[in-house]
């Protein structure tokens, strides 16, 4: 959920190649380069990356503090927060460590974070030793739980809300918790048609793998966790990214990668092909199928490496590579008979088309007229100037297509959009509001910069700010018709900028959850020298045209829809150490220009909300959403094995022990879309209300004719 301002960093920046071993000189030069405020370019990662070492940690820590918006020194509070974050990263499920372990490790970790400033990480060894001992203990307990006389306990209950669970105090408590966890995992396995004996074997193997992962996470590997914990102690959105996570972030923003074009999952130690990406080399080969298992990977000219029981991310890293290079996969296929064969593939660029902006057209009839509406789904604010990829350009193209269809209104769906690139958000908002300021950022020096489309921005008299102006749109390309923006608690960062700006300009109706996520901070993405990965650092706060920050409060919906129970605890206020909300003077409007659209009035918003409430109260799908949400809230995170079995049987439409077919990635995506359909449908209904109430004076097609 980042509003990321990327920096243009030359590949051979001065001071990097000949950096001193201490990292001080190298960091100083590197810092002076990355703070040049240029928008957006990612460097490709080298195929060989240096592991984060203790001697590099002081440089990384200095980088966080030098660039952070609010925190400039390591205070006692920062150390305490870093310790808490480290403990969370060591045992996020609270199933490994005892409360006595946690208390014993606190002073050790205090010494660790003090020593990290000097490049001394010796304290990681006792931390590692405790983790290994407890993981082995868990594995042994599970073996005892799943002995030959094991039987399911239909009355078993499990609290799945980890934040509400305390750390374990005794071995008896741990044994009881592991017994319940195993019960529920086995029940899920049985529902797929696997018998109890095989399900027991799979669970034992699961804990064997868990022990192996902990052992592999040697003291040196724990350095990554320490760097992440220190970053998160500053605020929820500052983070250290390992080379692998940095690459994942780059891919998510650019919507492309170089690989074979396959979606992979991990199943009991096997890497399984879930889906082949259209146009990727895996699909073009015609040799691979979903459910094939990858058991070995070989680079060109090298021997195969066995990947059974290997961490999924490590397997993916072996399969990805530069375009034009060759990789050989050893495949295990289980059909009528089991076959084993090799497939040689040439890596190529894979476009992640499913994550691009898309449009669907829906029709509604009112009176004797039929209306056509366009629903634009925008999963993220992606972009890559180097590869000529831009969500702004994609949405502009879709609006042009909608113009050709002479639509009567547009729904912009940002309900599952967690943010992205700031420039893309600003320019995209300009497609609906013409010229004017969209967002302002304030840095740690109190310097305010307004990002706008067009150069003339209205600001308060005597208030100094910088202006970063993007080209204004041709008025004939603007969409000026009825507009609904669909939001939820998942709408964050750049989504909140666009939704908030359109709300401040009275340009659209915001329909969705009570409010958006509430993330009002700006992060800068910085590649680290020596290919150590990267860091996201909170360098400022952003403000909407009305002067308000979305920090903690988010953007309030004009038309509120029922909230999924799973989103109740989603938001900035639920995170650790959020920054406080702030305000600046408004910068709303554009000098001397009247809007090309009809502003939405408060009276209209009240009317639309009343009509929506009446519909939702009568809608069977919303009634089901409300019912299940209330039931889940009443359980307070407690699930029962008997209830789980009943619900799964009901969902499968099968007998008590009927097998559930494992859903493919495409099927799961379609299922999620169907579950969210009532919200999109109501967004369209609100749009129909706007049209039939006589909103706007734009010609049919919603585009200005000026």
Concatenated DSSP letters of 146-171: TSTT----TT-EEE--GGGSPPB-SH
Calculate the average pLDDT of the chain.
85
Residue 545 contacts residue 436 (beta carbons within 8 Å)? yes
d(CA 540, CA 442) in angstroms, rounded, equals: 5
Is 368 within the bounds of a domain? no
Indicate the pairing of strand 3-6 with strand 521-527: parallel
The CA distance from 210 to 505, in Å, is 53
Spatial distance between the Cα atoms of 687 and 649, rounded to a whole number of angstroms: 39
Cα separation of 68 and 64, whole Å?
6
Residue 701 has pLDDT above 90, yes or no: no
| Domain end point (choices 243, 264, 284) | 243
What residues contact residue 189 under an 8 Å CB cut-off, 6+ apart? 198, 199, 202, 203
In this structure, are 267 and 226 located in the same domain? no
Q: At what angle do helices 124-145 and 196-216 cross, to 10 degrees?
A: 170
* Cβ pair 378, 413 in contact under 8 A: yes
Q: Which residues pair with 275 in a beta bridge?
A: 263
Strands (E), 458-592: 466-470, 483-487, 509-512, 521-527, 534-543, 559-560
pLDDT tier for residue 435 given thresholds of 50, 70 and 90: confident
Verify that 163 and 292 share a domain, yes or no.
no
Contacts of residue 516, Cβ cutoff 8 Å, sequence gap at least 6? 487, 488, 489, 491, 492, 495, 496, 499, 550, 554, 555
Amino acid 50: pLDDT: 56
User: The pTM is what?
Assistant: 0.84
| pLDDT single digits (tens) 440-449 | 999 988 899 9
Tokens of 429: 């908002």
Contacts of 650 (CB under 8 A, 6+ apart): none
Name every residue whose Cβ is closer than 8 Å to that of residue 410 and which is 6 or more positions away in sequence. Answer: 373, 374, 375, 376, 399, 402, 479, 481, 482, 483, 484, 687, 702
The CA distances from residue 452 to 430, 469, 589, in Å, are 8, 5, 10
- If asked whether residues 59 and 198 sit together in one domain, one would say yes
Helix, strand, coil: what percent of the chain each, to 5?
Answer: 40, 20, 40
Query: Do residues 290 and 275 touch, judged by C-beta distance below 8 A?
Result: yes
The winner for highest mean pLDDT among 178-182, 275-279, 406-410 is 406-410
The 10s digit of each residue's pLDDT in 570-584 is 899 999 999 999 999
Residue 138 lies in a domain: yes
Find, among 521, 458, 6, the residue nearest to 237 by Cα.
521
Instruction: Report CA 97 to chain centroid distance, whole Å.
Output: 28
Q: Do both 345 and 378 map to the same domain? A: no
Task: Please give the average per-residue pLDDT across 160-189, as a whole number.
Answer: 90
CA 314 to chain centre: 20
Would you state the pLDDT for residue 8? 29
Q: What are phi and psi of 393, to 5 degrees?
A: -65, -35
Range of the domain at 25: 3-243
pLDDT at 455 over 60: yes
Domain presence at residue 308: yes
Closest CA to 443 of 358, 344, 538, 520: 538
The residue among 352, 351, 432 whose CA lies nearest residue 396 is 432
The pLDDT value given to residue 565: 62
What six digits make up the tokens of 509? 């109706």
Q: 413-447 in b/e burial notation, b at 16+ Cβ within 10 A?
A: bbbbbbbbbbbbbbbbbbbbbbbbbbbbbbeeeee
**pLDDT per position as a tens digit, 504-516:** 999 999 999 999 9
Residue whose C-alpha is closest to residue 528's, from 122, 83, 9: 9
Whether residues 457 and 480 share a domain: the answer is yes
What are φ and ψ of residue 486, in 5° steps?
Answer: -95, 125
What pLDDT was estimated at residue 663?
Answer: 66
Residue at 458 is within a domain: yes
The neighbouring-strand residues paired with 437 are: 452
Per-residue pLDDT, averaged over 127-147, amounts to: 96
Report the candidate in 114, 134, 112 with the shortest Cα–Cα distance to residue 223. Answer: 112
- The model's confidence at residue 703, banded by pLDDT at 50, 70 and 90, is low
| Cβ contact 394:433 at 8 Å | no
Regarding whether 198 and 127 lie in a shared domain, the answer is yes
pLDDT above 90: percentage of residues in the chain:
57
Which residues share a beta bridge with 413?
A: 377, 486
When pLDDT is cut at 50, 70 and 90, the band that residue 590 belongs to is: low
Report d(CA 595, CA 571) in Å as an integer: 33
Q: How confident is the model at residue 25 (pLDDT cuts 50, 70, 90)?
A: very low
Domain shared by 275 and 418, yes or no: no
Strand-pairing partners, residue 296, are: 306, 330
Instruction: Indicate whether 186 and 315 sit together in one domain.
Output: no
**pLDDT, average across residues 302-322:** 89
Residue 706: partners with Cβ closer than 8 Å, 6 or more residues away: 475, 476, 596
Q: Which two tokens stand for residue 427?
A: 């320019």
**Among 415, 488, 523, residue whose Cα is nearest residue 40:** 523
**Residue 310 maps to which CATH number?**
2.30.42.10
pLDDT in tens, 315-367: 998 999 889 999 999 999 987 788 899 999 999 988 878 889 999 999 999 98
Q: Given this model, what pLDDT does residue 7 score?
A: 35
- Residue 303: Cβ-neighbour burial (10 angstroms; 0-12, 13-18, 19+): exposed
Structure tokens at 157: 């209950």
C-alpha 52/C-alpha 23 separation (Å) is 12
Residue 474 is predicted with a pLDDT of 83
Whether 43 has a pLDDT exceeding 50, the answer reads no
Does a structural domain hold residue 302? yes
Residues 424 and 351: their CA atoms lie apart, in Å, by 19
The count of structural domains within the chain is: 3
Q: Tell me, yes or no, whether 99 lies in a domain.
A: yes
The whole-number pLDDT of residue 156 equals 83
CA–CA gap between residue 499 and residue 683 (Å, rounded): 14
What stretches of 300-356 adopt beta strand conformation (E)?
305-306, 326-334, 338-346, 348-351
Q: How many other CB atoms are there within 10 angstroms of residue 95's CB atom?
A: 18
- 476 and 336, same domain (yes or no): no
My answer on whether 194 and 112 are in the same domain is yes
What's residue 702's pLDDT?
62
* pLDDT classification of 598: cutoffs 50, 70, 90: very high
- Do 283 and 203 fall into the same domain? no
* DSSP summary character for residue 455: S
Integer angstrom CA distances of residue 385 from 12, 79, 247, 352, 423: 20, 39, 17, 16, 11
- Helix, strand, or coil here: 291? coil
> How high is the pLDDT of residue 545?
94
Q: Which range scores top for mean pLDDT: 18-27, 189-198, 330-339, 420-429?
A: 420-429
Same domain? For 93 and 237 the reply is: yes
Whether 250 maps to a domain, the answer reads: no
- Contact by Cβ (8 Å): 427, 477: no
Tokens linked to 47: 């195929």
Per-residue model confidence (pLDDT) at position 654: 46
Question: What is the SS3 assignment for 265?
Answer: strand
Decide if 529 is inside a domain: no
Cα(345)–Cα(226) distance, rounded to whole angstroms? 38
Q: Nearest 5 degrees, angle CA 612-CA 615-CA 621?
A: 115
């Amino acid at each position: 959920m980042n509003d990321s301002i990327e920096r243009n960093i030359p590949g051979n920046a001065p001071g990097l190649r000949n950096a001193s071993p201490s990292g001080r000189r190298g960091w100083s030069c590197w810092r002076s380069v990355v703070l040049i405020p240029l928008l957006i370019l990612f460097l490709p990662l080298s195929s060989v990356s240096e592991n984060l070492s203790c001697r590099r940690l002081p440089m990384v820590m200095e980088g966080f503090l030098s660039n952070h918006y609010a925190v400039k020194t390591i205070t006692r509070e920062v150390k305490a927060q870093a310790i808490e974050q480290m403990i969370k990263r060591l045992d996020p499920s609270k199933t490994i460590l005892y409360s006595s372990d946690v208390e014993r490790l606190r002073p050790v970790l205090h010494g660790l974070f003090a020593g990290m400033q000097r490049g001394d990480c010796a304290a990681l060894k006792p931390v590692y030793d405790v983790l290994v001992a407890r993981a082995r203990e868990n594995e042994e307990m599970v073996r005892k739980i799943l002995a030959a006389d094991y039987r399911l306990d239909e009355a078993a209950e499990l609290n799945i809300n980890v934040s509400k669970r305390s750390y374990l105090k005794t071995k008896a408590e741990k044994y009881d918790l592991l017994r319940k966890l195993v019960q529920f995992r086995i029940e899920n396995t049985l529902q797929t048609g696997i018998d109890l004996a095989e399900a027991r074997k799979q669970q034992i193997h699961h804990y064997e793998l868990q022990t192996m992962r902990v052992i592999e996470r040697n003291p040196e590997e724990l350095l990554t966790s320490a760097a992440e914990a220190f970053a998160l102690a500053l605020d929820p959105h500052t983070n250290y990214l390992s080379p692998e996570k940095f690459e994942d972030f780059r891919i998510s923003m650019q919507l492309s990668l170089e690989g074979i074009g396959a979606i992979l999952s991990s199943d009991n130690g096997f890497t399984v092909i879930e889906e082949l990406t259209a146009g990727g080399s895996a699909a073009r080969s015609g040799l691979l199928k979903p459910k094939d298992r990858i058991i070995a990977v070989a680079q060109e000219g090298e021997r195969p490496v066995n990947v059974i029981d290997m961490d999924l991310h490590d397997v993916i890293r072996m399969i990805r590579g530069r375009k034009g290079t060759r990789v050989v996969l050893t495949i295990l296929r289980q059909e009528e008979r089991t076959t084993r064969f090799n497939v040689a593939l040439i890596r190529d660029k894979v476009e992640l088309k499913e994550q691009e902006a898309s449009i669907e057209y829906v029709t509604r009839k009112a009176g004797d007229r039929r209306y056509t509406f366009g629903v634009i789904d925008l999963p993220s604010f992606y972009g890559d100037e180097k590869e000529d990829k831009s969500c702004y350009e994609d949405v502009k193209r879709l609006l042009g297509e909608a113009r050709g269809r002479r639509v009567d209104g547009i729904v912009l769906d940002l309900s599952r959009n967690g943010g992205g690139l700031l420039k893309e958000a600003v320019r995209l908002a300009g497609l609906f509001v013409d010229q004017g300021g969209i967002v302002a950022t304030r840095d740690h020096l109190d310097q305010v910069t307004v990002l706008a489309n067009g150069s003339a921005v209205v600001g308060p008299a005597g208030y100094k700010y910088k202006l970063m102006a993007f080209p204004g749109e041709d008025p004939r390309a603007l969409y000026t018709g009825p507009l609904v923006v669909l939001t939820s608690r998942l709408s964050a960062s750049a989504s909140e900028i666009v939704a908030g700006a359109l709300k401040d300009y009275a340009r659209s109706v915001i329909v969705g959850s009570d409010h958006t996520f509430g993330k009002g901070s700006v992060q800068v993405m910085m590649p680290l020298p020596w290919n150590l990965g990267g860091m996201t650092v909170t360098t400022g706060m952003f403000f909407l045209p009305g002067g308000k920050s979305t920090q903690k409060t988010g953007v309030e919906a004009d038309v509120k829809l029922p909230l999924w129970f799973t989103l109740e605890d989603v938001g900035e206020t639920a995170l650790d150490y959020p920054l406080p909300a702030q305000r600046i003077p408004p910068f709303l409007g554009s000098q001397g220009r009247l809007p090309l659209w009809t502003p939405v009035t408060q009276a209209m918003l009240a009317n639309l909300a009343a009509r929506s409430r009446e519909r939702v109260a009568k809608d069977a799908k919303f009634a089901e959403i409300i019912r299940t949400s209330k039931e889940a809230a009443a359980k307070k995170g407690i699930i029962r094995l008997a209830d789980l079995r009943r619900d799964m049987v009901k969902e499968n439409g099968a007998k008590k022990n009927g097998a559930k077919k494992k859903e493919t990635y495409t099927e799961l995506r379609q299922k999620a879309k169907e579950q969210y359909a009532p919200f999109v449908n109501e967004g369209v209904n609100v749009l129909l209300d706007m049209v039939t109430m006589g909103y706007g004076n734009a010609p049919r097609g919603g585009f200005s004719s000026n």
